[in-house]
């Protein structure tokens, strides 16, 4: 099998969202930042000071019983399936995700601040 490298993509600029999620009205804040080529997709829990980045790699999967859970040194991120599928569909290879809860933010109502569509780079 031959691997053919492709031109990698990231976002054109930062994206930030804030809102509440779930029945307990948890506050969520997320930031998605562009990342350099070969960075891959990485997550950081900004509610846990001093935590490492959690790369979206198979070897970082710590559970799959109800959701895909990635972890590094006790810090975990969960329920990342939809955002990873979205990035794959959009051809996004490199990005930094930062958020304030264990689970990937999802809202039961529209976020209070919405940046509109993702700022994709020009093709």
CATH code assigned at 61:
3.30.230.20
From first to last of the 123 residues of the chain, give the pLDDT tens digit: 555 567 788 888 898 887 776 666 777 788 899 999 889 999 999 888 888 899 999 999 999 998 899 999 999 998 888 888 988 998 899 999 888 877 776 554 455 555 555 565 554
Tokens matching residue 20? 């509440």
Model pLDDT, residue 101: 79
Classify residue 109: in a domain, yes or no.
Answer: no
Quick check: helix, strand or coil at residue 38? coil
Report CA Rg, the chain: 15
Q: Which domain holds residue 47?
A: 15-99
The total number of structural domains in the chain stands at 1
Backbone phi, psi, residue 90, to 5°: -90, -5
| In a domain? residue 120 | no
Is 58 domain-assigned?
Answer: yes
Domain membership flag for residue 116: no
In a domain, 85, yes or no: yes
In a domain, 55, yes or no: yes
């Amino acid at each position: 099998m031959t691997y053919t490298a492709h031109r990698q993509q990231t976002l054109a600029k930062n994206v930030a969202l804030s809102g509440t999620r779930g029945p307990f009205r948890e506050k969520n804040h997320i930031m998605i930042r562009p990342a350099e080529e070969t960075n891959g997709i990485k997550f950081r829990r900004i509610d846990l000071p001093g935590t490492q980045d959690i790369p979206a790699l198979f070897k970082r999967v710590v559970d799959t019983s109800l959701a895909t859970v990635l972890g590094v040194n006790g810090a975990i991120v969960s329920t990342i399936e939809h955002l990873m599928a979205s990035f794959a569909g959009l051809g996004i290879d490199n990005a930094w995700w930062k958020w304030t809860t264990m689970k990937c933010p999802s809202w039961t109502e529209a976020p209070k601040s919405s940046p509109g569509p993702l700022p994709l780079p020009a093709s």
